[in-house]
A and B are shown apart, each in its own frame.
Chain A
């Protein structure tokens, strides 16, 4: 007999989430504290998008913008987007509640709005939306709440999360001009351990790297890449973000790429569904570190490094990064882990972004990856073509760079030999060695030139080859110095040979001369070696 299943008892009023869950959510979601800022920039970005949809109708010409500033131990994020009405502000109390549509807006999980409580003692927000005559305020006293939850845990009391949140939050409203529309978030009394959030320079670089901002106008390739992204990514819409410095300046935040980094010309790659080549999943731009070769900045074939003290810091922009609605998903190791099957060395040669176009791909809550799904698999499978392309490109860059380096070295050597030849400084004894060296160099150069895909470098190789061949001919007909100073009599005299030794030396050299009569260069080479060897020993 099968025992009957015990009846399931459900109490309608039963609390299903308890206060300590808030601590877990707020503490463990943001191992890197700067990520808290991303959450608010994300909300601001969505608010600007939402307002843009109606701004034409109400003829508002104000520049849509997000402004970040630091005051005391507060960091402030302001936007003049659509703002929130009373109901929306009241919903801030609801953990993980969101009406944003997945795949349509940057944020959608309703957790990021309270991210500030993970790093600060208080979170304050004020917001009003166009047409609303009230400014709505929300305050979350996080420290108070954390202390109470911890105290209750010690006492063995576990309360409903709802009750605790109600007790430590406040909502109120003031009268305001109904034309106003904005939201300000103040993350107040930031904890000592999270002081990085108060470092304006760290914020600027972080927002530039992970936020939905444009390329700096001063960056040589910025406009080209930006135009391509606009053409290929339907929702590509960089936002204007300003940050205030402690010295009273307002700086616009841009992506971190600058001309000082010496970046070679970027290239692009469309990622399509392997099963349906018409379905675009993502669009990627990439570039490598540049090096001036033949009066032009060309890919250098080196790890993409920038200014910094530690090696890790220098490599902070090496690799590609996934972008969704302009925001980074994961760091630059995520594409390496998901797209490169083996050696990652060459993945570090590149910097760039993979903008996701497919609306079925969603980020995880902590934005460190995408949620496992068929869409993600499709994306990762399709994007492997990026790794294939970049690996192949890296090989080309390597071949081209070596072709150039070898040619450049040979060119200098040839010029050196020619100079000596013209000055009569090449001795008969060294001629053969030089000729052999020249031939070896020309052989190597021919092989490199065959692999070279850069037309200008190839042309340069050809010129060096031509130069080398001409030099080789010149050497064949060269009037080289006889090396009289190293004649048998001179050497015997210099080494104070006895008459008998001098005679033996003469016999040996005459024998060799007879032996190499068909190849005088070979004789002079052996002669030179013997002479040098004798001089060294005696």
Chain B
């Protein structure tokens, strides 16, 4: 099937690379760990390019689509690709479906999932905090089934979205990091690094990358997951819009009364470089000052 004009999420070279090389590697790895085809939940747009690319690793797929004609095209695409029987499509806004548990017709996601790919319009934080609440609910639903999963998130890099939240967030993060070590030299480097993050000259993409990864780690740990984040990937999406991409592993740790500590440390996350895709391949990573690991 070609490309009807209806397409909103048009693919490009960077996106193609992420889907068929970078993400595909993670999906394949998660498939190997699970030892069975993965159940997918996502916002794939009508073309279902991710589903088609990862199809050998998938069992059933639940899609969420908010636009009627797009959903109709998705049904067509599923039939043309011969996967219509594995498709379960919900209709409505992704955030509200996750929060209410029901789509416009009263159908809900078929929890739990192994692979969740949220490729959505817009940034992460809006004034009503619907999106963070929705992600929190998603992680909580997975925890209710004690089900580990691979979460892939792609969103717009919107500078205006998170200025206030990120300022508070960096203060909180500074306190958390300083609680880890009493070593004054470490405290100095924590201040150095976080001052760099706070600096208005620092591109907001670094703040957003850090914010998102720490958010996912925090929420995951509260829900008894051992969370493993990865450096965010920055790339120019359709219409040259700046996109940021995250891949995070959530491994459920059963039988814990307390919040588990992930194997990956908070300092590891703060020290992440930012990966950038240009013309379908990775540019040298952009590295900022790092915090030395306490001995």
**Docked complex Cα distance between A341 and B91 (Å):** 55
Q: Say which one of A171-179, A204-212, A399-407, A530-538 lies at the interface with B.
A: A171-179
CB proximity of B92 to chain A, nearest CB, Å: 10
**Docked complex Cα distance between A124 and B73 (Å):** 10
Number of interface residues, chain A, beta carbon within 8 A? 27
- Taken residue by residue from 71 to 85, chain A's Cβ proximity to chain B (1 for < 8 Å, 0 otherwise) reads as 111101010000000
**Docked complex Cα distance between A249 and B104 (Å):** 24
Q: Say which one of A144-152, A180-188, A505-513 lies at the interface with B.
A: A180-188
Enumerate chain A residues within 8 angstroms of B3, measured Cβ to Cβ.
174-176
Name the prevailing secondary structure of the B interface residues.
Answer: mixed
Cβ B4 vs Cβ A72 within 8 A: no
- Taken residue by residue from 232 to 247, chain B's Cβ proximity to chain A (1 for < 8 Å, 0 otherwise) reads as 0000000000000000
- Taken residue by residue from 58 to 83, chain B's Cβ proximity to chain A (1 for < 8 Å, 0 otherwise) reads as 01100000001100110110011000
Of the candidates A176, A186, A244, A249, which one forms a contact with B72 in the assembled complex, judged by CB atoms under 8 Å apart? A186
Of the candidates A73, A74, A176, A186, which one forms a contact with B1 in the assembled complex, judged by CB atoms under 8 Å apart? A176
CB proximity of A253 to chain B, nearest CB, Å: 13
Q: Is B88 an interface residue (CB 8 A)?
A: yes
CB proximity of B110 to chain A, nearest CB, Å: 9
Cβ A78 vs Cβ B84 within 8 A: yes
Q: Is A365 an interface residue (CB 8 A)?
A: no
Pick the most buried of A72, A176, A182: most chain B CB atoms within 10 A of its CB.
A72
Cβ B86 vs Cβ A248 within 8 A: yes
Q: Is A69 an interface residue (CB 8 A)?
A: yes
Number of interface residues, chain B, beta carbon within 8 A? 28
Cβ A175 vs Cβ B5 within 8 A: yes
Q: Decide: A72 near B72, CB < 8 A? Known: A176-B2, A248-B85.
A: no
CB proximity of B14 to chain A, nearest CB, Å: 23
Pick the most buried of B2, B87, B88: most chain A CB atoms within 10 A of its CB.
B2
**Docked complex Cα distance between A124 and B72 (Å):** 8
Of the candidates B2, B85, B90, which one forms a contact with A177 in the assembled complex, judged by CB atoms under 8 Å apart? B2
- Taken residue by residue from 123 to 154, chain A's Cβ proximity to chain B (1 for < 8 Å, 0 otherwise) reads as 01010000000010100000000000000000
Q: Decide: A180 near B80, CB < 8 A? Known: A174-B4, A175-B5.
A: yes
**Docked complex Cα distance between A182 and B75 (Å):** 13
Enumerate chain B residues within 8 angstroms of A137, measured Cβ to Cβ.
69
Enumerate chain B residues within 8 angstroms of A126, measured Cβ to Cβ.
72-73, 76
Enumerate chain A residues within 8 angstroms of B1, measured Cβ to Cβ.
135, 176-177, 180
**Docked complex Cα distance between A248 and B59 (Å):** 9
Enumerate chain A residues within 8 angstroms of B79, measured Cβ to Cβ.
67, 69, 76, 78, 182, 184
Of the candidates A135, A180, A186, A250, which one forms a contact with B85 in the assembled complex, judged by CB atoms under 8 Å apart? A250
Enumerate chain B residues within 8 angstroms of A124, measured Cβ to Cβ.
69, 72
A-B pairs with beta carbons under 8 Å apart, 12 shown:
A67-B84, A71-B88, A72-B90, A72-B91, A72-B104, A72-B105, A124-B69, A175-B2, A180-B1, A244-B84, A244-B85, A248-B59
B binding-site residues for A, Cβ under 8 Å: 1-6, 59-60, 68-69, 72-73, 75-76, 79-80, 84-91, 103-105, 107
